[in-house]
Structure 1
């Protein structure tokens, strides 16, 4: 038997209103009247029993629908095709606020209780602390939702009759009221306990779950994963729907994403400072929402050069209030360079005095003595050829030792490791350029759940839980390699950024350059878009044309005031390594459109 209807739950004292009614009418908790039994009661000797948790649930629901219970909320989360994902409920009890959802497909409940700012697991159903009415109230609500999977006409009719009678100021029909109470209790009990299929009125209940109800963590509440997107009554405070993302500015989003983490003074200059009116796209906000509301910290952005990937990492760092580090990959990036960097040593050690090398004449006169100058070992019988080889070897070894002691370069932590020690954003650029795709697997240990790896000096470093790793790359350029699947699988989100539209390129160029000739810039953006499509369609490699070329074109034009000359210098010069292709693109896409503006 499900814990909702353990034997001891039937022995609980009824709410005062119902206790008084059965006393006044000379009735008992259990009625053997057929008219008091639900349609699901298939017993030959029919009976219906008033169930205290169910009656408390019905009274609470009535109060919520009547507006008397102002701290409750009921609703649903809809999915695709207008189907119900979850039935949702919140209720207040003293300083505690309970949140529950019910998945009708698998019969599973999930929930939590919030007290002040702490979210904890729901207590189990037990005699000392019975919260069975919380679960039953949600099932009762689901039974009243017309047109949904759990709607039940019989329960709804008698529940509404109870509400109407409770709302009336005049004397109630006690027999009718009590009969509806019997039927509602029996209806829910039989539908849960009968194991009827859903289409026959059954209410699915999963494996025993009421001693350890699945916990809804705080970050899942904030993410809107279980939020109600249709509220029937009340105001949800915990099970709120996911905020719809729209293009906003940095200034408008500060309050949503700023984390207020303490940053060491020496790293504060690394926090980006883009203007407050800089626009933030929804894709970037999606990453920010995951960072703030979930444990997700590993992301990848793939898209064309100039599509704004690096700018978006700056926006993310600025809104979070984190310093931003950059590590740029290349074809020769090795595993060791992911961990350490070689930098000039400003504290170069004092150089060892140069040894006095033997001259050629010394070697001809006495090879053994010439060799002894370098090695300190006089070999009387050594021949010239052997002595010559050993002199060369000794000179090489001495040169190596001296170079090692001079320490012109020293090893220091890479920016990846520096960023992993603090709340920070690290952008790892052009990861697809690495010739050996397996190189990045050196970071897998930092990307795993325990987030630890060992450095060359034997130290074990643990990635700070607030370190955000963003890999940015373009897969279409010459020299780009495929990713190692083990690295890709560790990313919490991979975004394939769409090409900027003509309007987006133009608006961004206007904002960044300050050029007031908006109509001309829109023309320039349209030309860039056409050239880019031409290069792709003709499969012309070795050149580039994108937003950066547009911005450079605008800057060049603002200086020269000659739009054609600026196009040749900033755009045409980069579209192809072949002169004939450059001439074709110039005569096809630039000159016809801008001859009048020149």
Structure 2
């Protein structure tokens, strides 16, 4: 007997979604997930779980850009929030609390109606909406992400290789089944659910809906119709604690040097984290193990709207060193690469050791003072860089006049090249 009503006996008899409704066998003794620890290895396709996976793919912009499905999914702190349109036309709104494994669900005939009770039972509410809401949590597992990408490509290509698609489907269904049913034994990999044995799930209440208790603070995919997601225009801000946000969306366990650690921003006390920053961090983290990890983001807005502070906040959330490169009307492609500068012996120059590009980027006034002896508060990094080139050119000329045959040069790379080579975040 299943531990959760999501896998009640009747759910295994439901018809599989197309094109898997024509498979020879709904089970496989050839393919199974890494969490299958039973003596007899077997994986079985589960109609509701598989339908939820395919529906999620329909709105996943990393797989199918610019598609609309009528579904939506987002987050609110530790909650996953979803709107799923069932085959009967109802909109099922699901709120899943990852901390306690509980669901709150409501069924809507349309966007203006009041929520009705959602009860897991054969012939009506099959639990597909609940699986759909669990997808972001399911995708935190490496194996699930790997075969999700494989099945997604098969789906987008029109299923040219059904054997490959079936293999991915078997492993995905088994992965989710084992992680839910065996959650207590799998520790971090497990997905713990708390669903009453009756299948009657706690209902969304109009009072909490009106109070905004279920409003997603970050939208991952789709457009919400029942629940209103806050926007920058409305002035609504996310309440995520700044200390919790720092490094919260790290997507690797790499160790940085002390010098690199200094480049990772720390959010100021006055800074309020916009929902767009959280959304970008979430997308960067969630797509890391996919075929098309999201790494380039455009921030648009007039001066003073917070683009630079937002970029620093994204670096803080991802736990990455932050660098920036300022362009001008005269910036050429080769300016992004680097320059050959004369190599001098600091003891032979008029100015001693030169400021590094990092010095110039992080503290232009101090770098300018190092070159000129004058501390200019309003000096820009580009002006300091021009002064550096002028100073080094003058020193090189002086050295050549003092007989220095065989002048040597060194290549100085730009912050863009440094960031790409080392995996930093850079704002251009």
Structure number with higher relative contact order (C-alpha < 8 Å, ≥ 6 residues apart): 2
TM-score (norm 2): 0.50
Larger radius of gyration: 1
TM-score (norm 1): 0.36
Larger fraction in helix: 1
